[in-house]
Chain A
Amino acid sequence: MSLVARYLERNGIPTVIMGAAKDIVEHAGVPRFLFSDFPLGNSCGKPHEPDTQRFTLELALKVLASAPGPRTTVQSPLRWNEDGDWKLDYNNLARLPAAEVARRRAEFDKVKQTALDQRKKAGVA
């Protein structure tokens, strides 16, 4: 998505990204980025909380209209929860038993095969 933002911007269309993977978006280098420090899948606010969703969109529009230059990141002040412990879970080997790693390895092999079949079907493999 960062690549698309850069492409649009370079061709005259100002962009803002609403996202939750700070390092990945900033590594790419984008014009404007509203970062929500939330689990991936919640770029637009918290589930079933229209107020946080409105707040997040409003903030993104402000970033779009007022960023002084490229690589502007604004971090939303909203918190996912009090302790931030969720951040220790995502793909964290330190929290995964060996049996679970083995199970995921087998599962990932299957996913890769499905994706390959899909790409062949779509003619892009």
Chain B
Amino acid sequence: MVDTAFFAPEHDAPIEYMRRTREYYLALGYDNPYRWAHYVDAPFQPLTKNLADSTLALITTAVPYQPDNGDQGPGAAYNAAAKFYTVYSGDTAVDHDTRISHIGYDRKHTTAADAHTWFPLPLLREFAGRGRFKLARRFHGAPTNRSQRVTLETDAPEILARCRQDQVDAALLVPT
């Protein structure tokens, strides 16, 4: 078996979101481009025990539905009123109606009609039930601020503290 010489089209590669976004907002009249977080190194902490014995926490950028804060989908336009600015936590033993209208997801190709595509809590419970890992008692909501300083100095330490309270061994982070 060999690969053929019929290559995929040039555009069929991961989207360059940073370049697209920069050019897009320039066209919209904003000449102060967002500077994405960028580091040369990355930390690494191996799992200290088997996954089956590890307590896993879910970290999400989604937010519980807020009936008083406008259209939150499915199909809602970008809704800045639904944004949140402090870390929140939820009980993983029960279901939560989370939304992503406050985030710049793909509004043409994503209907946002199935919360399982951004908030896998029911599936995590199923996996934990099969003994794949232990599910932490709480999940945590990470604010999507434009301020990276707030993320670094306030939100990340708060999420760490809550994970430690729950004896978390590993975290699954799902940005939208």
Contacts and interface: CB of A to CB of B under 8 A. Distances in A.
B176 A7 contact: no
Given A64-B170, A111-B78, A41 B112 contact: yes
Interface string A27-50: 111110001010111111111101
A40 B108 CA distance: 10
B150 A4 contact: no
Nearest to B85: A122
Interface string A8-44: 1111111111110111110111110001010111111
Contacts, number: 243
- Among B59, B106, B150, B176, chain A packs the most CB atoms within 10 A around the CB of B106
Contacts of A12: 45
A15 to B, nearest CB: 5
B59 A13 contact: no
Nearest to B127: A57
Nearest to B113: A47
- Among B45, B51, B113, B163, chain A packs the most CB atoms within 10 A around the CB of B45
B117 A4 contact: no
A64 B51 CA distance: 9
Contact of B160 (A11, A50, A69): A11
Interface size on A, as a range, is 35 or more
A57 B130 CA distance: 14
B173 A4 contact: yes
B68 interface: no
B112 A3 contact: no
Contact of A119 (B15, B30, B85, B133): B85
A78 interface: no
Nearest to B26: A93
Interface string B105-137: 110111111101111100110010000110000
Given A15-B173, A41-B103, A61-B51, 18 more contacts: A6-B39, A16-B172, A17-B174, A21-B175, A23-B17, A27-B38, A29-B38, A40-B17, A41-B112, A41-B118, A45-B116, A53-B117, A89-B106, A89-B109, A91-B20, A91-B21, A111-B80, A115-B80
